[in-house]
């Protein structure tokens, strides 16, 4: 008889256990056993929806329950094996031990408060966050196990797709997020009749993709990144090894939005604005930091992104010293009427004021450290922070750098 089994049985007898544990043991030095999630999405532009099916394709018996925080106005027509029940703003699913799956429809269109879209689908293309396909989910599963996930997308004839994920030879995508207990698709995705340009820059596989006939300058963006991304990578040694940039024209939101390993930039946004700042680099800083701001700390996250948009342009030689200084002067003028940075949401003048504060802090650190450290050290420290960036965490990082 196996010695491990005998020893375990002996312990169970001493402890008064009525049965052997059902959870798979975690063996030190070995990878934990995994249950596999397969997300399958059928894109249906004629209805403006995607039908999504989640199947636990291996070891469903290790999953006790999954709670989906679905939006009733977006996620509907739920079907499932096992049992499920509505509890407030969530759906609690208890999968069966065999043939475990849950299916629903999701509306792709997503409109912001200003009427512009950050999720849109036409008969020829669709652009949205992959997060929209699968609502936020909490999962209870057996101790000592972990999840693995794949994504399969069925497209209309003639469509292609660009995501941030690596692709298996089977055509499925590998979904792997070390920061999540249960992987689900995230980041921007564009599909349909699209044009795509790819380039490897300093170890990062860059993809720029957009629907055709949208006025998106894909090669200009690639050239711009070849010039600036190495500086960004020197600031962030753990810069993502894959980066997806998606773009489209109206009626998409006329701005930029970051997401894991990806960002959206409206086709009309310049890579360098007239005042010398760069929306594209600003969002790349957000991508590199993966930062969420805590209460009254949004000026820190936004101020760092805007400050380093100028720093990257200047250090890479894209922006001359004269234009760099002029940009700081314009931002200082824009933010001079701001009394307090402690707001819930940083915007325009507040972010401009925050840039000046970042420059002051950089000068203080350089002076007190004898030039050995700078705001760069604070940036790198915050980029490795789990959870929210708070005012307290920022102050501590600054003091440590000094």
Question: Using alpha carbons only, what angle is made at residue 357 by residues 351 and 363, rounded to the nearest 5 degrees?
Answer: 145
Q: What's the rounded Cα separation, in Å, for the pair 307 and 278?
A: 10
pLDDT at 178: 78
At residue 111, the pLDDT reads 93
Between CA 31 and CA 288 the distance in angstroms is: 28
Name the residue ranges covered by the structural domains of the chain: 34-269, 285-401
CATH topology of domain 34-269: Immunoglobulin-like (2.60.40)
> For each of the chain's 402 residues, which pLDDT tens digit applies?
444 333 433 333 333 333 333 344 444 445 779 999 999 999 999 999 999 999 999 999 999 999 999 998 899 999 999 999 998 889 999 999 999 999 999 999 999 988 899 999 999 999 999 999 999 999 999 999 989 999 999 999 999 999 999 999 999 999 988 778 889 999 999 999 999 999 999 999 999 999 999 999 999 999 999 999 999 999 998 999 999 999 999 999 999 999 999 999 999 999 999 989 999 999 999 999 988 899 999 999 999 999 999 999 999 999 999 999 999 999 999 999 999 998 889 999 999 999 999 999 999 999 999 999 999 999 999 998 878 999 999 999 999 999
Scan for tokens 């790349």, then name that residue: 284
The two structure tokens encoding residue 101: 């799956």
- Predicted confidence at residue 27, as pLDDT, reads 43
287 neighbors 243 (Cβ within 8 angstroms): yes
């Amino acid at each position: 008889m196996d010695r491990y089994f005998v020893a375990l049985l002996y312990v169970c007898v001493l402890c008064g256990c009525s049965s052997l544990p059902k959870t798979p043991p975690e063996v030190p030095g070995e990878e934990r056993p995994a249950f596999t999630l397969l997300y399958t999405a059928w894109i249906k532009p004629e209805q403006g929806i995607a039908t999504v099916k989640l199947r636990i394709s291996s070891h469903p018996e290790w999953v006790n329950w999954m709670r989906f925080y679905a939006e009733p106005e977006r996620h509907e027509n739920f079907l499932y094996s096992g049992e499920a029940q509505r509890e407030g703003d969530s759906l609690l699913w208890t999968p069966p031990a065999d043939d475990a799956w849950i299916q629903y429809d999701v509306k792709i269109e997503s409109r912001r408060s200003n009427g512009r879209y950050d999720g849109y689908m036409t008969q020829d293309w669709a652009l949205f966050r992959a997060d929209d396909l699968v609502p936020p989910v909490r999962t209870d599963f057996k101790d000592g196990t972990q999840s693995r996930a794949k994504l399969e997308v069925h497209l209309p004839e003639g469509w292609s797709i660009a995501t941030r994920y690596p692709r298996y030879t089977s055509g499925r995508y590998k979904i792997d997020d070390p920061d999540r207990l249960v992987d689900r698709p995230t980041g921007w995705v564009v599909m349909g009749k699209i044009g795509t340009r790819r380039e490897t820059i300093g170890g990062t596989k860059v993809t720029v993709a957009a629907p055709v006939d949208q006025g998106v300058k894909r090669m200009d963006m690639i050239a711009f990144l070849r010039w600036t991304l190495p500086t960004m990578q020197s600031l962030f040694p753990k810069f993502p090894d894959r980066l997806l940039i998606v773009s489209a024209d109206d009626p998409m939101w006329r701005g930029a939005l970051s997401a894991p390993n990806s960002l959206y930039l409206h086709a009309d946004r310049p890579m360098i604005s007239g005042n010398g700042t760069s929306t594209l680099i600003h969002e790349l800083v957000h991508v590199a930091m993966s930062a969420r701001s805590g209460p009254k700390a949004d000026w820190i996250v936004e101020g760092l992104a805007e400050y380093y948009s100028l720093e990257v342009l200047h250090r890479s030689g894209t922006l001359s010293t004269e234009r760099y200084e002029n940009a700081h002067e314009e931002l200082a003028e824009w933010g001079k009427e701001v009394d307090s940075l402690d707001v819930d949401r940083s915007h325009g003048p507040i972010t401009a004021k925050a840039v000046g504060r970042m420059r002051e802090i950089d000068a203080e650190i350089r002076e007190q450290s004898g030039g050995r450290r700078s705001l760069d050290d604070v940036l790198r420290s915050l980029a490795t922070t789990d959870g929210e960036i708070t005012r307290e965490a920022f102050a501590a990082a600054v003091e440590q750098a000094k």
